[in-house]
Amino acid sequence: MSLSPFHLAIPVYDLPGARAFYGEVFGLQEGRSSAHWVDFNFYGHQLVIHEQPKTASQESVHSNPVDGHDVPVPHFGIILGWQEWEALAERLKSFGTEFVIEPYIRFKGQVGEQATMFLFDPCGNALEFKAFKDMSQLFAK
């Protein structure tokens, strides 16, 4: 399956802190920037952090129950290869990352079994990273 890169712009109220988080903790390559925004190569996609006052979703987290966990809404992320996901989980742990949902296997033994983890960036944007051992189950019911 061939995918087109997506473009996602998210609000951050602490541009230097968010820049360090995405650049240093995740090791993302920085692209163009200005005094108010920064582009990052987010696993082949364009993630832009834009300086903006704190939003309602950054002030107060909403969540929905999924597989016994409270999943923050809204959130975004990427689906990685299994080994890439494991390496990222270890990298995040090495930086002392506080997870909202610790890395674990969701729907274990069921259709759509996946590795997942949730965390917040320094500005309260929720991120999810997941992996499937069987990518054909990405949209399985």
Give the residue from 7, 15, 21 showing the smallest Cα distance to 49.
Answer: 15
Residues ≥6 apart with Cβ < 8 Å to 34: none
**pTM, full prediction:** 0.92
pLDDT value of position 36: 98
Tell how strand 62-66 and strand 114-120 pair up. unpaired
The domains spanning 1-52 and 62-140 adopt the same CATH topology:
yes
CATH of span 62-140: 3.10.180.10
Give the pLDDT score at 133.
86
pLDDT for residue 1: 61
Which of these, 108, 99, 91, 107, lies nearest to 128 by C-alpha position?
Answer: 99
Kindly give, in sequence order, each residue whose CB lies less than 8 Å from that of residue 107, ignoring residues fewer than 6 positions away: 67, 113, 114
Class of the CATH-defined domain 1-52: alpha beta
What is residue 135's predicted lDDT score, i.e. its pLDDT? 87
Q: Where are the domains of the chain?
A: 1-52, 62-140
- Whether 10 and 48 have beta carbons less than 8 Å apart is answered as yes
Q: What is the pLDDT along the chain (141 residues), one digit of tens a residue?
A: 678 999 999 999 999 999 999 999 999 999 999 999 999 999 999 999 999 999 888 888 899 998 889 999 999 999 999 999 999 999 999 999 999 999 999 988 888 889 999 999 999 999 999 999 888 888 887
Question: Tokens at residue 38, please?
Answer: 């920064």
Residues 6+ away with beta carbon under 8 Å from 56: none
Q: Residue 137 burial by CB count (10 A; 0-12/13-18/19+): exposed, middle or buried? A: middle
Q: What is the pLDDT of residue 46?
A: 98
β-bridge pairing 99-106 and 75-80: unpaired
Those residues whose C-beta lies under 8 Å from the C-beta of residue 2, and which sit 6 or more positions away, are none
